[in-house]
């Protein structure tokens, strides 16, 4: 029986951690930190004149992004969303009370719209992030550092890089966080195949080696200072996940990994903003 190398075993265990992701709703509940799209559905943060104003709050509750009923998208620092004594960032739409919604579109564009979501009267207003692209998974997040960021991916656990932020604007694809990812290991999985049709009844099927790699991402400008510690903590957490999966069950691997990884980061005094930006991902390649 062939023994898996440590990186291969590490990757196998990480696969267990990606089986438990849950989707977000299209309409955001007030107070959440994240607004998430899917390839078939945008996500909205609405306000309605005289009734309510939708808002997102950072994980610590320090910052609040509010879609105001006057068409202004505003970020405030305060203990609650009602404390608006310290504005941080304002984007003005068409002035005047009415119905508006912040639209995290499933093409990656963030925009202010007038009207109500999913109605014929809804139209795009003046402001957008200017980042339309392919339909897919994107999420908007209000962070504890006061930044408002559009990421590619299904959520923090599937973070595929920054698309836009209020602090830095649009981020070109070449400048996303590909350099800030740490390769944790890889292994060979089920072979991949492709079929080539030369004539209508002349098909050739080719088989190739399929490799799966696991990565740890640090979406922070200070990732270099934390890289080695995060790598060491990830390995320590993998050992804990291994023990839990062997002596308990596969479903116990994820909680064990999270607890051990978080404790290790805290013991090494990793900045909370860096810790909150860490995510895991996998990708496959075929070699024909």
3-state SS track over 205-262: EEEEEEEEEEEEEECCCCHHHHHHHHHHHHHHHHHHHHHHHHHCCHHHHHHHHHHHHH
Neighbours of 160 (CB within 10 A): 21
Check residue 20 and give its pLDDT: 36
Check residue 275 and give its pLDDT: 67
Reference 14, options 233, 270, 234; nearest CA is 234
Q: Which residues of the chain register pLDDT less than 50?
A: 1-6, 8-9, 12, 15-25, 174-179
Taking only the tens place, the pLDDT of each residue in 260-288 is 888 888 888 877 666 666 776 666 777 76
Q: Where are the domains of the chain?
A: 6-20+178-287, 34-153
Check residue 88 and give its pLDDT: 92
Tokens of 238: 């993998």
Cβ distance 72 to 94 under 8 Å? Answer: no
- Specify whether the backbone of 254 is left (phi greater than 0), alpha (psi in -120 to 50) or beta: alpha
- According to DSSP, the residues that pair with 175 across neighbouring strands are none
Taking only the tens place, the pLDDT of each residue in 14-61 is 544 443 333 333 555 556 788 899 878 899 999 888 888 899 999 989
Check residue 196 and give its pLDDT: 67
34-153 belongs to CATH 2.90.10.10 = yes
Check residue 257 and give its pLDDT: 80
Tokens of 2: 């062939």
Cα distances (angstroms) measured from residue 271 to each of 8, 144, 204, 215, 229: 29, 11, 54, 20, 12
Check residue 242 and give its pLDDT: 78
Q: Is the dihedral of CA 123, 129, 133, 139 positive or negative?
A: negative
Query: What is the rounded radius of gyration, in angstroms, for the C-alpha atoms of the chain?
Result: 22
Strand 162-165 and strand 169-170: pairing? antiparallel
Query: Cα–Cα distance between 193 and 188 in angstroms, integer?
Result: 14
């Amino acid at each position: 029986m062939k023994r898996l190398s440590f990186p291969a075993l590490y990757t196998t265990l990480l696969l267990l951690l990606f089986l438990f992701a849950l989707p977000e709703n299209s309409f955001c509940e007030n107070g959440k930190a994240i607004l998430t799209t899917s390839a078939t559905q945008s996500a909205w943060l609405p306000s309605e004149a005289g009734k309510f104003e939708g808002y997102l709050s950072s994980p610590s509750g320090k910052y609040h992004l509010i879609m105001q009923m006057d068409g202004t998208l505003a970020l405030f620092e305060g203990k609650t969303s009602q404390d608006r004594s310290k504005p941080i960032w304002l984007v003005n739409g068409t002035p005047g009370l009415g119905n508006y919604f912040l639209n995290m579109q499933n093409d990656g564009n963030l925009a202010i719209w007038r009207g109500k979501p999913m109605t014929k009267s809804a139209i795009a207003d003046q402001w957008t992030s200017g980042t339309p692209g392919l339909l897919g998974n994107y999420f908007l997040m209000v962070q504890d550092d006061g930044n408002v960021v559009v990421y590619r991916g299904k959520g923090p656990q599937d973070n595929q890089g920054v698309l836009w932020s209020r602090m830095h604007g649009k981020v070109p694809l070449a400048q996303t966080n590909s350099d800030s990812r740490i390769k944790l290991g890889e292994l060979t999985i089920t072979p991949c195949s492709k079929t080539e049709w030369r004539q209508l009844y002349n098909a050739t099927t080719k088989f190739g080696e399929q490799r799966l790699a696991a990565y740890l991402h640090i979406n922070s400008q200070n990732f270099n200072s934390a890289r080695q510690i995060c790598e060491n903590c990830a390995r320590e957490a993998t050992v804990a996940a291994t023990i839990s999966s062997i002596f308990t069950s596969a479903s116990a691997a994820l909680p064990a990994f999270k607890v051990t990884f978080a404790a290790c980061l805290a013991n090494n005094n990793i900045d909370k903003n860096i810790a909150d930006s860490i995510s895991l991902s996998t990708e496959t390649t075929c070699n024909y």
